[in-house]
C-alpha cells in the first residue's frame, strides 16, 4: 500500500533540518561538538604509544557497539559473550545461533563501514545493500542485501510507524539521499535525518535497525566524527524518539540522544590522548606493555558503565561456552 505521507516527509526533510539548525539549543550543541571535533583532530598525528592505546579503545568500542546494536534488537548475548564471539574461539552454548551470527555480522559490517568511509564512497543504493548483506548474517542468504519483495509489508513492533510500500522503496531511498545531498544543514543533522527516515522506509525484510546504525556511522566517519554506539539501556527511548519524529514530526528527542552519543565519543578520544600526554614518556611506554597499568585503567574508565556485562535478564558473568566450530553445521535461521 502506498505511503504518500512518508514520501512527503522525505521531500520536506531538508527544510525541516534547516529549521531545526536555526533553533538556539541545537545550534549551540552543534557548535560545542564541532569545537570538540576540532580539538580532537588537533591532537593528531598520534605517536606510536597513542596509536596503540587508540587501537585498544577501538577494539573495545567494537565489542560495545556490537553488543548494544544487537541487544536493541533482542539478542540475549551479554557483553562478555559478545567479546568471546568476536575473538572467534568460543560461543555461548545457551543462546540461539542466530545471535552469534548477528554479532559477527555487526562487527564485520563495521569493518566495511570504516573502509568505505576511508575510500570516500558515496552513500547510494549499492552501498546500502552491501552493508545489509555483510551485517545481517543471521538471515538466510536470499534475504541479505535484498529489498522487501512485492507484497511484503513490514511492521515496526509496538509503534504506529507505517513503512514504505515495497514498490516505493527504491524511489523513497533515492529521494532521501538526493535531498540530503543538496541540503545545507549541518552534517550531524543530515545524519540524524537520514537515520530516522531510513528506518521509516524499512527497506529490508529484517536487519534494518542494525544496518541503519551502520549507515549512521558511515555518515559520521565520512564527515570526520567518531562513530557512536547507542546504548541498549537507551533502546526504548531511542525507539520512541524515532517514532516521535517519524509519526509526529518531532525530531528533538532523537537529535538529543544522537548528539549526546557524538559528544561522548569525541570527549573519550580527547581524554584518552590528553591523559597519555600528561604522563612521562617512560610511564607511557610502561602503560602500554603492562596488563595492570594506568593505560588499561583509563580505557576501562572511559566506558565503565558498559563493561559490567549485565544482560537483559539481569545475569552477570560469562555463560558456558562451546567452540565456535560446533556451530558450523547449524542452521542460521535457528
The set of catalytic residues is 202
* Other CB atoms within 10 Å distance of the CB of residue 125: 14
Q: Which three cell numbers stand for residue 8?
A: 512527503
Distance CA(59)–CA(230), nearest Å, equals 16
Q: Is 213 annotated as a binding-site member?
A: yes
- Write the Ramachandran bin of 280: left for phi over 0, alpha for psi from -120 to 50, otherwise beta: beta
Q: Is 267 annotated as a binding-site member?
A: no
Q: Is 283 annotated as a binding-site member?
A: no
Q: Is 206 annotated as a binding-site member?
A: yes
How buried is residue 313: exposed, middle or buried, by Cβ count under 10 Å (0-12/13-18/19+)?
exposed
Q: Is 235 annotated as a binding-site member?
A: no
Q: Is 209 annotated as a binding-site member?
A: yes
Q: Which of 72, 114, 80, 334 is nearest to 207 (CA)?
A: 72
Q: Is 207 annotated as a binding-site member?
A: yes
Residues with Cβ within 8 Å of 174's Cβ and at least 6 positions away in sequence, in order, are: 125
Q: Is 278 annotated as a binding-site member?
A: no
DSSP run (H or E) holding 208: helix 208-222
Residues with Cβ within 8 Å of 192's Cβ and at least 6 positions away in sequence, in order, are: 251, 254, 255, 258, 259
Binding residues for ATP: 206-213
The annotation places the binding site at 206-213
Amino acid at each position: 500500500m502506498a505511503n504518500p505521507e512518508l514520501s512527503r516527509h522525505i521531500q520536506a526533510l531538508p527544510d525541516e533540518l534547516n529549521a531545526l539548525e536555526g533553533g538556539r539549543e541545537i545550534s549551540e550543541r552543534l557548535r560545542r561538538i564541532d569545537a570538540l571535533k576540532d580539538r580532537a583532530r588537533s591532537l593528531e598525528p598520534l605517536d606510536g604509544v597513542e596509536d596503540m592505546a587508540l587501537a585498544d579503545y577501538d577494539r573495545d568500542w567494537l565489542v560495545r557497539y556490537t553488543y548494544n546494536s544487537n541487544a536493541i534488537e533482542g539478542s540475549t548475548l551479554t557483553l562478555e559473550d559478545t567479546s568471546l564471539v568476536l575473538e572467534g574461539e568460543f560461543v555461548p552454548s545457551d543462546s540461539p545461533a542466530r545471535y552469534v551470527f548477528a554479532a559477527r555480522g555487526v562487527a564485520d559490517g563495521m569493518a566495511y563501514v570504516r573502509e568505505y568511509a576511508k575510500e570516500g564512497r558515496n552513500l547510494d543504493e549499492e552501498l546500502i545493500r552491501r552493508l545489509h548483506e555483510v551485517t545481517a548474517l543471521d538471515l538466510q542468504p536470499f534475504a541479505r542485501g535484498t529489498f522487501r519483495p512485492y507484497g511484503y509489508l513490514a511492521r515496526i513492533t509496538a509503534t504506529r510507524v507505517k513503512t514504505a510500500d515495497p514498490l516505493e522503496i527504491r524511489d523513497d531511498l533515492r529521494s532521501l539521499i538526493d535531498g540530503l545531498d543538496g541540503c545545507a544543514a549541518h552534517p550531524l543533522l543530515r545524519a540524524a535525518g537520514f537515520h530516522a527516515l531510513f528506518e521509516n522506509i524499512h527497506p529490508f525484510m529484517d536487519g534494518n535497525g542494525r544496518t541503519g546504525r551502520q549507515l549512521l556511522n558511515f555518515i559520521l566517519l565520512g564527515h570526520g566524527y567518531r562513530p557512536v554506539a547507542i546504548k541498549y539501556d537507551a533502546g526504548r527511548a531511542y525507539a520512541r524518539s524515532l517514532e516521535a519524529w517519524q509519526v509526529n514530526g518531532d525530531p528533538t528527542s532523537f537529535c538529543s540522544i544522537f548528539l549526546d552519543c557524538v559528544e561522548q565519543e569525541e570527549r573519550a578520544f580527547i581524554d584518552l590522548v590528553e591523559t597519555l600526554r600528561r604522563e612521562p614518556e617512560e610511564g607511557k611506554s610502561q602503560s602500554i606493555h603492562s596488563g595492570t597499568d594506568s593505560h588499561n585503567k583509563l580505557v576501562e574508565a572511559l566506558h565503565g558503565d558498559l563493561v559490567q556485562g549485565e544482560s537483559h535478564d539481569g545475569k552477570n558473568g560469562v555463560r558456558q561456552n562451546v567452540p565456535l566450530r560446533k556451530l558450523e553445521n547449524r542452521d542460521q535461521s535457528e
